[in-house]
Amino acid sequence: MSRPSTRHAYWALLGALSFATMGVCVKFASAEYSNFEIVMYRGLIGAIVMAVWMRQTQTSAKTSVPLMHLWRSMVGVSALLCWFYALAYIPIATGMTLNYMSSVWLGVILLSAGWLFQTQRANAKRQLPLMLTIVMGFVGVALLLRPTFQGEHAFAALIGLLSGIGAAFAYLQVGALTKIGEPESRVVFYFSIGGMVAGAVGTYWNGMHAWTWTALWIVPVGVLATLGQWCITKAYGSGATLLVANLQYAGIAFAAIYGVVIFQDVMPWFSWLGMAIIVVSGMLASVLRARALPEPAPQEMDT
């Protein structure tokens, strides 16, 4: 591996570690604060950081496509709320894995769109490996969630699945914004604003909790999310899209370590097998999607 590739690989791994650590903070903060409150503060911190960054880089906040940013924020924030909810009730490694299913869901969405608009039907045989990879991903989900669906947290697991679907749609929208020339910092800025507003509305509706020492876990959520997005964006700057996309799955390994060490999570062997299958299927889907289907622009995770 060349020296530049190695450096960008380090950025990708740091980004994955940031998101996994953010998941730990979300889990602790969820013990006392609602998802809306956490998303509100995450958005507030992210908006402040990105506003400072845009000022330093002389990037204007003015956009000619406000409706595209609005739609991206609606989808992304919905996925973020689902993800944070799942992290609060199921093992952190399971929650991270379900969100990282977005790569497999992207394959489903793009493959379905190709068949719907008759752009891929002539290449059915060529699409077979991607189809098999998608099926492989769902087998992994079945194994991973088998004990969860038999327990009291089945609803949280379903919400976790929805977070991955929402993240896939959000990535497609960010890809569209990037293609028309919107800077990544502006996209992240408006996403943060959207999270802050949606979180504030939800907090007003459900009520706001008083600040306690537990609130200290909320601050790192915004900081780590912004750091993770910045690291992933920097890593993608190398042009090694597939390498960076696959290295992001290290976040699942980091989350698994956190789950065992910090939360004493105990999962049966078939759950670990399911997690491994999902990781492999996600990596394969990234490779096959890049070869067979139009590739969306590289994205920050954190929906």
What digits encode the pLDDT tens for the residues 198-247? 999 999 998 898 888 888 999 999 999 988 887 877 776 655 666 667 77
Question: Does residue 44 sit within a domain?
Answer: yes
Q: What is the pLDDT of residue 135?
A: 81
Residue-number span of the structural domain to which 243 is assigned:
3-292
Q: What is the pLDDT of residue 199?
A: 96
Q: How far apart are CA 163 and CA 157, in angstroms?
A: 10
Question: Does residue 298 sit within a domain?
Answer: no
Question: Does residue 300 sit within a domain?
Answer: no
Q: Domains in the chain: how many in total?
A: 1
Question: Does residue 87 sit within a domain?
Answer: yes
What digits encode the pLDDT tens for the residues 59-71? 999 999 999 999 9
Q: What is the pLDDT of residue 268?
A: 84
Total Cβ atoms within 10 A of residue 270: 13
Three-state SS sequence of 32-45: CCCHHHHHHHHHHH
DSSP letters for 13-59: HHHHHHHHHHHHHHHHHTTTS-HHHHHHHHHHHHHHHHHHHHHHTT-
* Higher-scoring residue by pLDDT: 162, 245: 162
Residue 29 has pLDDT above 80, yes or no: yes
Total Cβ atoms within 10 A of residue 63: 16
Residue 294 has pLDDT above 50, yes or no: no
DSSP letters for 207-275: --PPP-GGGGGHHHHHHHHHHHHHHHHHHHTTS-HHHHHHHTTHHHHHHHHHHHHTS-----HHHHHHH
